[in-house]
Structure 1
Amino acid sequence: MYIQQAFKSLHEWWRYLVGFIIIFVASQLGSIPLLIAVMFKKVSDGESVYSIDENEILTTLSSNLTLFLMLLSFAVGLLAVYLVVKFFHKQPFVTLTTSRKKTDWGRVLFGFGLITVTTLVVTILDFYSNPEGYVLQFDLVPFLILAAIAVIMIPLQTSFEEYLFRGYLMQGIGVLAKNKWLPLIITSVVFGGLHLANPEVEKLGNVIMIYYIGTGFFLGIMTLMDEGMELALGFHAGNNLITALLVTADWTVFKTNSILKDISEPSAGFDVIAPVLILYPIFLLIMAWRYKWRDWGGKLFGKVEEPIVLSEENTPNSTFVEK
């Protein structure tokens, strides 16, 4: 099983605590270039740098440069996850990704394609049914720069979040708690909670936390049911990438040179939680059908037991047995 693989590496509780701190500090250090760039720009413009707020950090530089420097911290964080897992836990990185012998890239592409097609269809339908809510802002050169940044950096950003929450913390909490439901709940709530600082929360209110936390549960469920993160990796990357390229708004965390700009006044209505209540269950059913998921109760709420390893002298015919 996916979580059980952590038992094969160094999995003492303090290692996960220290490892998480290292990863967190590394990701914060990765945000320093953005702060330096903003301060340099404000100094060059003759402005004060002693009272820089979050809005100034996101709007002082060009949108493409801001996006790149924002995503850089996630790339640094992903590197930290890799180093902590490999050298601190002595765990092969593939076992943090999947229970399969190697990463199933077909699953990654399926998750990516599922949300990409859905987002395109929904956005196009909304654009034609509500054209006054959008502005076509396509500008070839800035868009090509955006595309180059997004294609490289956004998968690093989403992979960092997946490897940290659905990978490192899911396995770590699972082997410590000896069950699956607790890591699913904790990682999903914490994942959603970290989005509290997003400007979308200020604009739409706390109701949008249902979407963020629900997305955490959705990604966690598909990871546990599929015994690996491939679907979650592809889905998360596709969701963020296609959104950054296709549509932006003044009140979103990603203000990009996308094709469309949403100028409608957002409302915290049913459309905010519709993905959690309607789309996500449909996606899970599609994945369950395609990959023949079984035993939902056991995979989501079952126990996580440490494999029993019998030494050679205690096994018949001197055969190594792992239960």
Structure 2
Amino acid sequence: MAIATMITPLLISFFPFLLLIPAICFTICHANSNVLCIQSEREALLKFKNHLIDPSNRLSSWVEGGDCCKWIGVDCHNSTGHVHQLHLAAPLSPYERSKLRGKINHSLLELKHLSSLDLSYNNFSSIQIPKFLGMLGTLTHLNLSQAQFQGEIPHNLGNLSKLQYLDLRGGIMPGWDTKVTSLQWVSGLSSLQYLDLSYVDLRKANDWVQVTFKLPSLLDLHLSYCGLEDDPSPISVNSTKSLVVLDLSQNRFSSVPKSIFSLHGLVSIHLSGNSLEGPIPDYFGNTLFLEVLDLSWNHLNSSIPNSLYSLNRLQFLSLSSNQ
């Protein structure tokens, strides 16, 4: 029982990585040794490379006339040879030199079978997220996390109807590099299972509840460090029954958003680092599947309500740094 208690929160924490297991398995289990890349796709990748700044020469294998299915970061479909995935995340190291910079060329549109694009942890601080990415209609996974893009996130990303995983996490420095004034575009992502907009400025996105809580397939939602605060007139929504993980930590809530308690399937709730006041709400007693509840670093007072004792699946509870 003790081992299970420790393992379940860890599984929840690693949920975004679990979503990527199929992509990782494809890379490991299906080597590209028996296929040759398609010439038009090789040329598209070379155009893409030519607009990048690559200080550490990470893309040295990308050369004219080479088999692009053997290039670093490129995965081709095992039978068709079409470029299937681009994994170009910068290594998790403190060295800025390892990060790609420059421009993202629209030649990526020539990759008609691209299902996964990962440009995370690079340094594109001089540009916005390109609008043309919303035309990559075959994408199921898009990861631009902490790639230091600037400005408004383009609404036409909502055209990616096959998208299952979307990580647009901003930088971790004070302030926001990217922002969204409305999340209405997200409502078109009917297949989306994982969404991370942490460190994105959502202070003007008053529709975040109405949109995200209605996504029919969403399992995992991360909106930490987004500047969210209490809605003076909370709106009741017919919310998704699928949401399992909800992270609203490090925002500006003075009370727990009541809309949360319409999400009866939640397993993990993170509200640490807000300004929650008063007693712990009894509403949590309605979240019968809850296993992880983090209310640390707030201004809550009084005793633990009896409703929490009815949560017989609860395995992790943090109330530290309250009153």
Q: Normalized against structure 1, the TM-score is what?
A: 0.23
Q: Normalized against structure 2, the TM-score is what?
A: 0.23
Higher helix proportion, which one? 1
Q: Which has the higher contact order (CA 8 A, sep 6+)?
A: 1
Higher strand proportion, which one? 2
